[in-house]
Structure 1
Amino acid sequence: MRDRLSCIACVLLFIALMLVSLRYITDFWLLAFFYSLQPHIGAAAIIGSLICLAIRRSTVAWALLAWSIFITGHAFWMKLEFLPPSDTVISEKATRFRLLSFNVLGDNFTNADRIVDTIRMSGADVAYAMEAGPLGDRLDQLKDIYPYHIGCGVMVEFCDLLILSKYPIEQPRFFSLSELRANRFAIAGIRIGGQLVNFSAIHVTKPYFDDYHTLELIRAGAYMRQRPGPKILAGDFNSDSIAPDMQRFLRHYKMHTAGFEPATWPIEAGLFGVPIDHIFMTGEIKAVGLHRLPDSEGSNHFGLIADLAIEPASN
């Protein structure tokens, strides 16, 4: 009986580990979601391997344990690659600012007033809202703090992707990254400390919808490349930064996170969820801190707040 239980458990662990490990061979879209779950699957596999060893010690169980430890360790190692430089120094002349990014959930109308209060009290200089429908008829409540915005009646009628700003917006543009959803990528030029910073907001299609996730990242990068100067990209990516296409994107455009990224989805998982919402930036932008909103305000995502800084332009 012990041998049979051990055999069944080892086979299940092997299948789970193989699914995640295929990322080292191919970036197949059907398995893309599993790639974002690599830390979770790896940690569960470590526990499963230990259970297998408790049932019956075998070479296979020890091999599965070693495999599980590698998968888990490498997942966290990949996260370290995109952290802001540890030797970052922010001078007194730098201009500090704050960015809020929050998928508020398109049918979350019952909590619209709470979401408005959260945005107002966030202290953000620029705020992004994805699936912003619940805010469509409440923008007047935000005008005193954010007199400038694009989306929800400005440039596009449909209220989905919204950028709010305390400062004037220059050269605003909306783009459709694929035929699945329209106008889910926007760029707004906003001057911070006298410098024009390109603020980009994005809502990427889920990674298990064929190759659309990768395609949309490629197109977003192409649009960003057209704008010289410091860049910030934030929003709902529906994928962890350790996914292969996310890694390629961040390396190619030399972007990093604002800090170690907290889990943002699903909210029921709390700290053990997946960080699928991100705030990325190029090297000109210095990261001061990153944290998630304490309450989801009825959304299925937690929002993120990044404190950032930019040094004066060199002459």
Structure 2
Amino acid sequence: MRDRLSCVACVLLAIALLLVSLRYVTDFWLLAFFFSLQPHIGAACVIGSLLCLAIRRSAVGYGLLFWSLLVTGHAFWMKLEFLPPAGTTVSQNATHFRLLSFNVLGDNYVNADRIAETIRMSGADVAYVMEAGPLGDRLDSLQDAYPYHIGCGVMVEFCDLLILSKHPIEAPQFYSLSELRANRFALAGIRIGGQLIQFAAIHLTKPYFDDYHTFELMWAGAYLRQRPGPKILGGDFNSDTIAPDMQDFLRNYRMHTAGFEPATWPVEAGIFGVPIDHIYMSREIKAVRLQRLPESEGSNHFGLIADLAIEPAAN
């Protein structure tokens, strides 16, 4: 009985590890969701391997434990690759600013007032709001804090992707990255400390919808490349930073995170969830702190707040 139980458990563990490890050979879209779950699956397999060894010690059990440790360790190693450059310091002359990114959930109308107040009290200079429908009737109440915005009646009638700003917006533009969803990528030039920064908000298709996620990232990168200068890209990516297409994107455009990324979805999982909401930036922007909003305000995502800085332009 012990042998049979150990055999079944080892087979299940091997299947789970194989699904995750396929990322090293292929970026097949059907497996994309599992790639974002690599730390979770790896950690679960470590525990499972230990249980297998407790039932019956075997070379297979030790092999699965080693495999699990490699998968888990590499998942966390990949997260370290895109952290802000080590040893970065912010001078006294740098201009500090704050960015909020929050998918508020499109049918979350019952919490619309709370969401609007959370944005107002965040202290953010710029706010990205995804699935912004609940705020459609609350924009007037935010006008004093955020006199400038695009989306929800400005440039785009439908209230989905929204950028709110305390500062004037230059050369705003909306793009549709695929035929699945319209106008889910927005670019807005905003001057911070006298320098024009390209603020980009994005809401990507889920990664298991064929290859749309990868193609949408490619189009977003192409549009970003058309805008020179410092860039900040944030929003709901529906994938962890460690997903293969996400890594390729960050390497190609030399962007990094605003800090070690907290889990943002699903809210029920708390700290054990998956970081699928991100704030990325080019090298000119310095990350000071990245934190998760303490409350989800009825959304299925937690929002993010990044404290950032930019040094004075060289003369």
Query: What TM-score range do you get, normalising by the shorter chain?
Result: over 0.9
> Which consecutive aligned stretches of 4+ in structure 1 deviate over 6 angstroms post-superposition?
none
CA distance in 2, matches of 1:213, 1:112: 29
Describe the SS at the equivalent of 2:88. Answer: coil
- In the TM superposition, what are the counterparts of 1:40-59 in structure 2 within 5 Å? 40-59=40-59
Name the residue aligned to 2:258.
Answer: 258
Name the residue aligned to 1:112.
Answer: 112
Identity %: 82
Name the residue aligned to 1:152.
Answer: 152
Is 1:30 the equivalent of 2:55? no
CA distance in 2, matches of 1:148, 1:61: 59
Once the two structures are TM-superposed, the CA of residue 164 in structure 1 deviates from its matched residue by 0.1
CA distance in 2, matches of 1:300, 1:205: 16
Is 1:246 the equivalent of 2:246? yes
Deviations 1:2-38 (A, max 9, x none): 0000000000000000000000000000000000000
Deviations 1:25-53 (A, max 9, x none): 00000000000000000000000000000
Name the residue aligned to 1:299.
Answer: 299
Name the residue aligned to 1:203.
Answer: 203
- TM-score, normalised on structure 1? 1.00
Query: Which amino acid in structure 1 is aligned with residue 99 of structure 2?
Result: L
Once the two structures are TM-superposed, the CA of residue 86 in structure 1 deviates from its matched residue by 1.5
CA distance in 1, matches of 2:28, 2:13: 21
User: Please, what is the CA RMSD of the aligned residues?
Assistant: 0.3
Name the residue aligned to 2:282.
Answer: 282
Describe the SS at the equivalent of 1:9. Answer: helix
Name the residue aligned to 1:269.
Answer: 269
Deviations 1:103-123 (A, max 9, x none): 000000000000000000000
Once the two structures are TM-superposed, the CA of residue 99 in structure 1 deviates from its matched residue by 0.1
CA distance in 2, matches of 1:202, 1:107: 19
Query: Which amino acid in structure 1 is aligned with residue 242 of structure 2?
Result: I
Deviations 1:246-301 (A, max 9, x none): 00000000000000000000000000000000000000000000000000000000
Query: Which amino acid in structure 1 is aligned with residue 85 of structure 2?
Result: P
Query: Which amino acid in structure 2 is aligned with residue 159 of structure 1?
Result: C
Once the two structures are TM-superposed, the CA of residue 213 in structure 1 deviates from its matched residue by 0.2
CA distance in 2, matches of 1:211, 1:289: 33
Name the residue aligned to 2:214.
Answer: 214
Name the residue aligned to 1:12.
Answer: 12
Aligned pair count reads 315
Describe the SS at the equivalent of 2:295. Answer: coil
Describe the SS at the equivalent of 1:199. Answer: strand
Query: Which amino acid in structure 2 is aligned with residue 289 of structure 1?
Result: R
Query: Which amino acid in structure 2 is aligned with residue 64 of structure 1?
Result: L
Structure 1 gaps, min length 5: none
CA distance in 2, matches of 1:115, 1:258: 23
Query: Which amino acid in structure 2 is aligned with residue 115 of structure 1?
Result: I
Describe the SS at the equivalent of 2:254. Answer: coil
Describe the SS at the equivalent of 2:213. Answer: helix
CA distance in 2, matches of 1:192, 1:224: 18
CA distance in 2, matches of 1:269, 1:26: 29
CA distance in 2, matches of 1:222, 1:302: 28
Is 1:130 the equivalent of 2:130? yes
Deviations 1:200-230 (A, max 9, x none): 0000000000000000000000000000000
CA distance in 2, matches of 1:179, 1:5: 48
